[in-house]
């Protein structure tokens, strides 16, 4: 069952989304060569507490941190560590919070100079894929319109769409129905019709090479099987009568 949110509930989700956006801004401002990903974790931890929110990821199925920091071939769920960022790295930062009973979750990927043209293109195409997913969040469209928009854009650029992880409904739980794949399965049809009040976390995960991923022995970090770079952008978006409402933008 997909839970539709009332106008009052959407306002609460927007408040949670605003915190997520602020945390991401604070973390991104700190990204620089020589900075350990655990320092980004500390920035996020402070920013979440200062906003009066609670971290959504820490303790979730035993996940140890408030942030996921996924560098280069790490796709998602990288665990902050003593690893220091270096010039040329791509780092995906994913954060979720709970505020006033509602969750919000968003991610961005940033590059440290010098950025290769191919890495630049990977980030741009993944960001554009998220934009296209957002644009499909209109009443009367179907879930598969979102998936298809992402897949077409990514594959037309020659990049890979990760299959093992998907976007998701979000609300009073971090993960609600439905799952939001970034690829279509024609045999499964167009999926549920999008209705006002639905809120989805849209999160294309894109690989520069083949889309296959493996999990590191830490049991969290998903990495590309071929070692190619990956990018990840995520927003929580509500379907409204007037079209998409991005809840996790600043």
Residues of this chain that interact with Co ion (CB under 5 A) are 105, 201
Binders of ligand MF3 among residues 106 to 145 (CB under 6 A) are 107
CA torsion sign for 182, 183, 185, 186 is positive
What mask of x and - would describe binding to ligand MF3 in positions 156 to 195, judged by CB under 6 A? ------------x---------------------------
Least distance from ligand MF3 to the Cβ atom of residue 220, Å: 7
Q: Using the rule CB under 6 A, is 233 a contact of ligand MF3?
A: no
Q: Which is nearer to ligand MF3, 63 or 113 (CB)?
A: 63
CB of 142 to ligand MF3, least distance (A): 22
Q: Which residue is nearest to ligand MF3 (CB)?
A: 63
Angle 91-247-90 from CA coordinates, rounded to 5°: 5
Nearer to Co ion, 169 or 197 (CB): 169
Rounded distance between C-alpha atoms, residue 79 and residue 107, angstroms: 14
Which of 10, 47, 57, 92 is the binder for ligand MF3 (CB under 6 A)? 57
Shortest Cβ 145–ligand MF3 spacing (Å): 21
Residue 206 contact among ligand MF3, Co ion, none, beta carbon within 5 to 8 Å by kind: none
Does the footprint of ligand MF3 cover residue 9 (CB under 6 A)? no
SS3 content of the chain, % helix, strand, coil (to 5): 30, 30, 40
Please name which of 176, 178, 233 lies closest in space to residue 206, comparing C-alpha atoms: 233
Complex with ligand MF3: residue 12 or 168, whichever CB lies closer? 168
Q: DSSP for 100-166?
A: TTEEEEEEEEEEPSSPPHHHHHHHHHHHHHHHHHHHT-STT-BHHHHHHHHHHHHHHTT-EE-SS--
DSSP secondary structure letter of residue 233: -
**Does 105 help bind ligand MF3 (rule: CB under 6 A)?**
yes
What are the residues facing 214 on neighbouring strands?
223
Q: Is the peptide bond before 26 cis (omega within 30 degrees of 0)?
A: no
Which residues of the shown chain bind ligand MF3 in the complex (CB under 6 A)? 57, 60, 63, 68, 77, 94, 105, 107, 168, 201, 203, 234
């Amino acid at each position: 069952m997909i839970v539709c949110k009332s106008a009052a509930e959407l306002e609460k989700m927007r408040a949670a989304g605003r915190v997520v956006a602020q945390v991401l801004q604070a973390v991104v401002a700190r990204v620089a060569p020589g900075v350990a990903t655990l320092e980004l974790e500390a920035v996020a931890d402070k920013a979440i507490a200062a906003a009066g929110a609670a971290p959504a990821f820490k303790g979730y199925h035993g996940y140890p941190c408030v942030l996921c920091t996924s560098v280069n071939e790490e796709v998602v769920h990288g665990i902050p560590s003593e690893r220091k960022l270096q010039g040329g790295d791509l780092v995906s930062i994913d954060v979720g919070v709970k505020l006033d009973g509602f969750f919000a979750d968003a991610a961005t990927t940033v590059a440290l100079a010098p950025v290769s043209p191919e890495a630049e293109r990977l980030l741009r195409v993944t960001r554009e894929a998220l934009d296209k997913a957002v644009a499909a969040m209109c009443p009367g469209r179907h879930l598969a319109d979102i998936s298809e928009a992402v897949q077409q854009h990514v594959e037309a650029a020659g990049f890979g769409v990760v299959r093992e992880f998907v976007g998701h409904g979000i609300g009073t739980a971090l993960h609600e129905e439905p799952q939001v794949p970034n690829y279509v399965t024609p045999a499964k049809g167009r999926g549920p019709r999008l209705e006002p009040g639905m809120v989805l976390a849209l999160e294309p995960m894109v690989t520069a090479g083949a889309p296959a991923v493996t999990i590191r022995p830490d049991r969290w970090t998903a990495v590309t099987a071929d070692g190619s770079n990956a990018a990840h952008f995520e927003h929580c978006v509500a379907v409204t009568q007037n079209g998409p409402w991005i809840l996790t933008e600043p």
